[in-house]
Amino acid sequence: MMRQFELVERVKRYHPDADEDLLNRAYVYAMKAHGSQKRASGDPYFSHPLEVAAILTDLHVDDQTIAAAILHDTIEDTGTTREDIASRFGENIADLVDGLTKIKKLDLVSKKAAQAENLRKLLLAVAADARVLLVKLADRLHNMRTLHFVPPDKRARIAEETLEIYAPLAGRIGMQDMREELEDICFRVLSPDAHLMMVKRLQALKERAGGLIQLIEKDLKSKLVANAIPGEIKGREKRVYSIWRKMERKSVSFEQLSDIFGFRVVVTSVEDCYRALGIIHQAWPFVPGRFKDYISTPKQNDYRSVHTTVVGPKHQRVELQIRTREMDAVAEFGIAAHATYKDGKSSAEGGGESNAYRWLRRTIELLAEGDNPEEFLEHTKLELFQDQVFCFTPKGLLIALPRSANPIDFAYAVHTDIGNNAVGCRINGRNSPLISELQNGDEVEILTTEGQVPPSAWENMVVTGKARAAIRRATREAVRKQFVGLGRRIVERAFVRAEKKFSEEKLVSALPRLARATLDDVLTAVGRGEMYSGDVVKAVFPDFREEVSKAGAQGTGKGWFGVQGEKKLKFKVPGQEGAAGSIPIRGLSDDLPVRFAPNGGAVPGDRIVGILTPGEGITIYPIQAPALMAYDEEPWRWLDVRWDTDEHDPRRFWVQIVVSVINEPGSLAEIARVIADTDANIDNIAMRAKTADFREMILDIEVWDLKHLNAIMSELRAKPMVASVERVIG
Give just the sign of the alpha carbon dihedral 10, 13, 18, 20.
positive
Say if 351 falls within a structural domain. no
Q: Please report which confidence band the pLDDT of residue 380 belongs to, taking 50, 70 and 90 as the band edges.
A: low
Would you say residue 292 lies in a domain? yes
Burial class (CB in 10 A: 0-12, 13-18, 19+), 423: exposed
Contact yes or no for 577/593 (Cβ under 8 A): yes
Has residue 575 got a pLDDT over 60?
A: no
Residue 419 resides in a domain: no
Q: Which of 614, 643, 672 is the last residue of a domain?
A: 643
Q: Which residues lie closer than 8 Å to 413 by C-beta, 6 or more apart?
A: 399, 401, 464, 466, 467
Return the DSSP state at 44: B
pLDDT exceeds 70 at position 572 = no
Is the pLDDT confidence value at 272 over 90? Answer: yes
Q: Is residue 461 part of a domain?
A: no
How far apart are the C-alpha atoms of 531 and 550, rounded to whole Å? 12
DSSP letters for 81-123 = -HHHHHHHH-HHHHHHHHHTSPP-S---SSHHHHHHHHHHHHH
pLDDT band, very low/low/confident/very high, at 357 (cuts 50, 70, 90): low
Are residue 130 and residue 233 in the same domain, yes or no?
A: no
Rounded to the nearest angstrom, the gap between the alpha carbon of residue 687 and the centroid of all alpha carbons in its chain is 42
Q: Of 137, 163, 194, which one is at a domain's C-terminal end?
A: 194
- Residue 70, pLDDT > 90, answer yes
Query: Do 95 and 170 lie in a common domain?
Result: yes
Q: 261 and 185, same structural domain?
A: no
Q: How far is 33 from 679, CA to CA, in rounded Å?
A: 83
**Same domain? 146 vs 233:** no
What is the per-residue pLDDT for 591?
62
Same domain for 115 and 235: no
pLDDT band of 28, cuts 50, 70, 90: very high
- Tell me the three state secondary structure of residue 177: helix
Give tens-digit pLDDT for 134-162: 898 999 999 999 999 988 888 998 998 88
pLDDT band at 638 (very low <50, low <70, confident <90, very high): confident
Instruction: Identify whether 386 is part of a domain.
Output: no
Q: Taken in order 477, 480, 486, 490, is the CA torsion positive or negative?
A: negative
Q: Is 252 helix (H, G, I), strand (E, B) or coil?
A: coil
Identify whether residues 306 and 177 lie together within a single domain. no
Closest CA to 477 of 449, 503, 505, 456: 456
Instruction: Measure CA 433 to chain center.
Output: 22
Please state the domain count of the chain.
Answer: 3
Instruction: Looking at the structure, tell me whether residues 78 and 190 fall in a common domain.
Output: yes
Summarize the confidence of residues 107-115 as an average pLDDT: 53
Burial class of residue 570 in the structure, from the number of CB atoms within 10 Å of its CB (0-12 exposed, 13-18 middle, 19+ buried): exposed
Lowest mean pLDDT among 564-568, 687-691, 725-729: 564-568
- Which of these is catalytic: 19, 77, 353, 546? 77
- Domain hosting 328: range is 211-333
158 and 56, same domain (yes or no): yes
Is 546 a catalytic site residue?
no
Q: How far apart are CA 364 and CA 459, in angstroms?
A: 20
**Which residue in 19, 76, 535, 705 is the catalytic one?**
76
- Phi first, then psi: give them for residue 9, nearest 5 degrees: -65, -40
Return the HEC string of 546-582: CCCCHHHHHHHCCCCCCCCCCEEEECCCCCCCCCHHH
pLDDT winner (highest mean) among 48-57, 645-654, 721-730: 48-57
Q: Rounded distance, CA 263 to CA 625, Å?
A: 62
C-alpha distances (whole Å) from 275 to each of 24, 229, 285, 294, 555 are 49, 8, 16, 16, 86
Give the amino acid at 677.
D
> Is residue 26's pLDDT more than 90?
yes
Average pLDDT over residues 243-260: 76
Task: Give per-residue pLDDT as tens, 279-326.
Answer: 999 988 888 878 889 998 887 777 899 999 888 877 778 889 999 998
CATH number of the CATH domain containing 322: 3.30.460.10
Strand partners, 342: 345
Do 107 and 247 have their domain in common?
no
Residue 245 predicted with pLDDT over 70: yes
Q: How many angstroms separate the CA atoms of 727 and 622, rounded? A: 12
Q: Is residue 545 part of a domain?
A: no
Q: What angle do CA 87, 91, 92 make, to 5 degrees?
A: 135
| Same domain membership, residue 249 and residue 177 | no
In CATH, what number is assigned to the domain containing residue 22?
A: 1.10.3210.10
Q: Is residue 184 part of a domain?
A: yes
Q: Which of 194, 227, 247 is the last residue of a domain?
A: 194
Separation of alpha carbons 725 and 692, rounded Å: 19
Mean pLDDT taken over the chain: 81
Residue 71 shares a structural domain with residue 161: yes
639: three-class secondary structure by DSSP: strand
Facing residues of 617 across strands? 613
Whether 77 is catalytic is yes
Question: What pLDDT was estimated at residue 378?
Answer: 58
- CB-based contact 702:676 (threshold 8 Å): no
Helix-strand-coil split of the chain, %, nearest 5? 50, 20, 30
CA dist 598 and 606 (Å) reads 16
**Banded model confidence at residue 567, pLDDT cuts 50, 70, 90:** very low
The full DSSP string for 304-339 is: --EEEEEE-GGG-EEEEEEEEHHHHHHHHHTHHHHE
Same domain, 27 and 56: yes
